[in-house]
Amino acid sequence: MNIIDRRLNPQGKSLANRQRFLRRAKEQVVKAVRDASGKRGIQDIENGEKVTIAAGGVREPSFHRAAQGGVRDYVVPGNKEYVEGDTIQRPDGGGGGRGSEGSADGEGEDEFRFVLSRDEFLDIFLEDLELPDLVKQKVKQSESHTLTRAGYSVSGSPANLNLVRTMRNSLSRRIALKRPKRDEIRELEEMLREAEEAGEDATQIQALREQLEHIVLRSRRIPFIDPIDVRYNRFETVPKPIAQAVMFCLMDVSGSMTEHMKDLAKRFFMLLYLFLRRRYRSVDIVFIRHTHEAKEVDEETFFYSTETGGTVVSTALEEMQKVVQERYPHNEWNIYAAQASDGDNMSSDNAKSATLLRDVILPMCQYFAYIEVAAEHNMGLSALGRETELWRTYKQVQSPERPLAMRRVRSRREIFPVFRELFAREKAGA
């Protein structure tokens, strides 16, 4: 008997099968994920999800008999009072529940349930989304550099000497120039010594001595390592892509913002956060809320504490500018900003906000998304084409080359579609 402990064998042997399965059921899984994400809060969107998909696409058909019709015989245990010829009321489900045949082999499930892991869920959830113009801006803006190996050079510092290359060159040169080997010299010396000891005739000794002198000289002329052999590792500086991102959440918390509106805004911020986290190793978040004055706050305060006051948008932009200058130099950080507001602004502030946005904020941002949240019942308003103060202001700023996107959101349902619209792949300029 052999007893083998397999517990330490690699786990997840069926991972490849699972991936194949997910690929196979992709359409349905995507649909299920979208449905599921509509139903639940953004907060727990990151957790894995039990999804139910229609069995159709992942059905494994086989030739088997229909569950209905025809004549069937079953032998079952546990007779109590039946005698031959008795009749039994057909159980619900047309006799299917009886005996082993009807239901036991039933691949007749209409739905297939299983659990997606968190990563799988997010992958599908955020599929097809891309950060706009990411690559271009990264290269353009990055100012940190890193050294990478780039072949060999003939000059460099001793620390970078590449020994293998150098010795290889040296060896080939020595072979090519027929530099005498150490053994040859030693042999000749030996012969000379023997000849001298044996007291052989002078001419022969002389000849040997000359020969020896010759090769010693030759070996001296052809150096073991010549400067032309030497090679150094060459390094090149390449711009390092900036791999850190900061996300600014700007929100109007004045009295006109209802809980519903804040909820919409929060959902949008969460989505953006999730999305950025998929792309960057670390994402910082800065919450800035504003009324007629702006303040950087923590998340709790940001979403849940109420404030009264007027609405001056430019204060938030100024605050953001300040934070960027203090902590997030824009050549080292990818800066994303999302602003949520109901569109109110003091008329006197519009011009200032527009200038600030155009000249200061947008140039340093990777992306600036403006989400205008509206009360759910307020359906007719934008349909009538009445644009809010802020919307009009930002619209003037908007141009194809500026990374500014604007959307209106009225209900929870719209959050995800709007988000997708903003980040959908191949959508140049958003």
Partner 1 sequence: MTAVITRPEALLYDGVEWDYDKIKRVYDAIEHIALKEMGLDVYPNQIEVITAEQMLDAYSSIGMPLMYKHWSFGKHFARDEMMYRKGYRGLAYEIVINSSPCISYIMEENTMTMQTLVIAHAAFGHNHFFKNNQLFQQWTDAQGILDYLEFAKTYIAHCEERYGHAAVERVLDAAHALMSQGVHKYPKKRSDLRTEQRRERERQEYQDQTFNDLWRTVPKTAAGPRPAKSVSERKKLLGLPEENILYFLEKKAPRLEHWQRELLRIVRHISQYFYPQKQTKVMNEGCATYVHYQIMSRLHETGQISEGAFLEFLHSHTSVVFQPEFDDKRFSGLNPYAVGFAMMQDIARIAEKPTDEDRQWFPDLAGRGDGMAAVREAWANFRDESFILQYLSPHLMRKLKLFSVRDDAEDPYLLVDHIHNERGYRDIRKKLARQYDLGYLEPDIQIVDVDLAGDRKLILQHRVTNGVLLDESDAKAVLRHIANLWGYEVQLIEVSAISEAILKEHAVTAPSGIGVG
| Binding residues for partner 1 (CB under 8 A) | 1-7, 9, 11-14, 16-25, 50, 58-80, 82-90, 94-95, 98-101, 103-104, 112-115
CB of 119 to partner 1, least distance (A): 15
Element spanning 150, H or E: strand 145-153
CB of 46 to partner 1, least distance (A): 19
Handedness of CA 330, 334, 340, 343 (dihedral sign): positive
By beta-carbon proximity to partner 1, the closer residue of 44 and 60 is 60
d(CA 15, CA 17): 5
By beta-carbon proximity to partner 1, the closer residue of 4 and 159 is 4
Q: Are strands 404-409 and 367-373 parallel, antiparallel or unpaired?
A: parallel
CB of 425 to partner 1, least distance (A): 22
CB of 50 to partner 1, least distance (A): 7
d(CA 369, CA 296): 19
State how far Cα 74 lies from the chain centre.
58
CB of 122 to partner 1, least distance (A): 18
By beta-carbon proximity to partner 1, the closer residue of 83 and 164 is 83
By beta-carbon proximity to partner 1, the closer residue of 85 and 400 is 85
By beta-carbon proximity to partner 1, the closer residue of 92 and 201 is 92
Half-sphere exposure of 294 (CA within 13 A, CB side): 22
Q: Which two tokens stand for residue 417?
A: 């579609």
Handedness of CA 318, 320, 321, 327 (dihedral sign): positive
CB of 93 to partner 1, least distance (A): 12
CB of 128 to partner 1, least distance (A): 20
By beta-carbon proximity to partner 1, the closer residue of 78 and 158 is 78
d(CA 430, CA 423): 7
290 within 8 A of 321, measured Cβ to Cβ: no
By beta-carbon proximity to partner 1, the closer residue of 51 and 264 is 51
CB of 126 to partner 1, least distance (A): 21
203 within 8 A of 266, measured Cβ to Cβ: no
Give Dmax (Cα) for the chain.
Answer: 135
By beta-carbon proximity to partner 1, the closer residue of 19 and 146 is 19
CB of 49 to partner 1, least distance (A): 12
d(CA 376, CA 261): 9
By beta-carbon proximity to partner 1, the closer residue of 41 and 91 is 91
Half-sphere exposure of 43 (CA within 13 A, CB side): 2
Start-to-end CA span in the chain (Å): 68
276 within 8 A of 266, measured Cβ to Cβ: no
- Of 334, 130, 336, 138, which is closest to residue 240 (Cα–Cα)? 138
